[in-house]
Amino acid sequence: MALADGRALPASVLAAEAGVSAPAMSSHLGKLLSAGLVTAERSGRNRYYRLADHQVMDALEAMARLAPTTPVTSLRQGTRAAALRRARTCYDHLAGRLGVDITEGLLASGALVAKDGRADTDRRAGQHISAVVPRGQEPFELGPKAGPVLERIGVCLDDVRERDSRRPLLRFCLDWTEQRYHLAGLLGAEVCSALTGQGWLQRMPRQRAVRLTPAGRGALTTALGTIRDDAWRG
């Protein structure tokens, strides 16, 4: 999960994150590397590892639902867990309350429309609790105001559509902390990149939690309307 925000990290840092010895981590990384789940790049004396692609992250999010909850034993752990629930990256797109709220803002502004007419991000009946909604079962599609609304947050929809990518433009994850949908896919990655590039979103040191700046809060509120205030704090 330390690699879940798309970073590349050395084995020593990953060992410290997992609480295992360096030899044990090297053994695990070797197996992941041979299975094609991670990639490695040498820089100086260290090899830096990253997740192979967003599909690996999708699998990790799905397994996170099955894993037992780790008990919080310190104020630091509690603060970090709260920050992850509030706003985090899921490989290269936004998750947590912030990710869900942005998706709801895109619905409210007409950038997205619900295929069943419901203007909310609640899990639909019959939808399995999995990290990524299967292809063809996406609950939302682009709405009539997608272009101008996305332009206000720094995303040119035409440019994204013209990009040569095998990745679907629209995907949706059922957020594992919120149990509601957030935007993923190529467009979700572009939204996250645009917010970060404009300084509206800041990554927290050595973790996948992110923080929305005051300027970002104002910009998104103007572009997408009212969003729950607690998702913007931190």
Q: What is the dihedral of CA 181, 182, 188, 194, to 10 degrees?
A: 160
List the Cα angle 185/84/210 in 5-degree steps: 70
**Which range, 84-93, 155-164, 178-187, 188-197, is most confident?**
188-197
How far from 94 is each of 5, 11, 147, CA to CA, in Å?
A: 9, 26, 20
Amino acid identity of residue 15, one-letter, is A
| Tokens 């050395």, residue located | 10
> Does the pLDDT value for residue 153 go beyond 80?
yes
Rounded Cα–Cα distance for residues 51 and 189 (Å): 16
Q: Who's near 169: CB < 8 A, 6+ residues apart?
A: 160, 161, 185, 186, 187
pLDDT tens-digit profile of 41-52?
Answer: 887 777 889 898
Burial string for 150-161 (b: 16+ CB within 10 Å, else e) reads beebbbebeebe
Q: What is the pLDDT of residue 75?
A: 45
Whether 98 and 87 have beta carbons less than 8 Å apart is answered as yes
Average pLDDT (6-18) is 78
More confident residue, 64 or 214: 214
Amino acid identity of residue 5, one-letter, is D
Report the chain's mean pLDDT, rounded to a whole number.
Answer: 82
Q: Which CATH number fits domain 1-52: 2.40.50.140, 1.10.10.10, 2.40.50.1020, 3.30.360.10?
A: 1.10.10.10
The domains of the chain are located at 1-52, 53-232
Tokens, residue 83: 């920050």
Which one, of 74, 100, 75, lies nearest residue 87 by Cα? 100
pLDDT tens-digit profile of 107-150?
Answer: 999 999 999 888 888 888 777 665 677 777 889 999 999 999 99
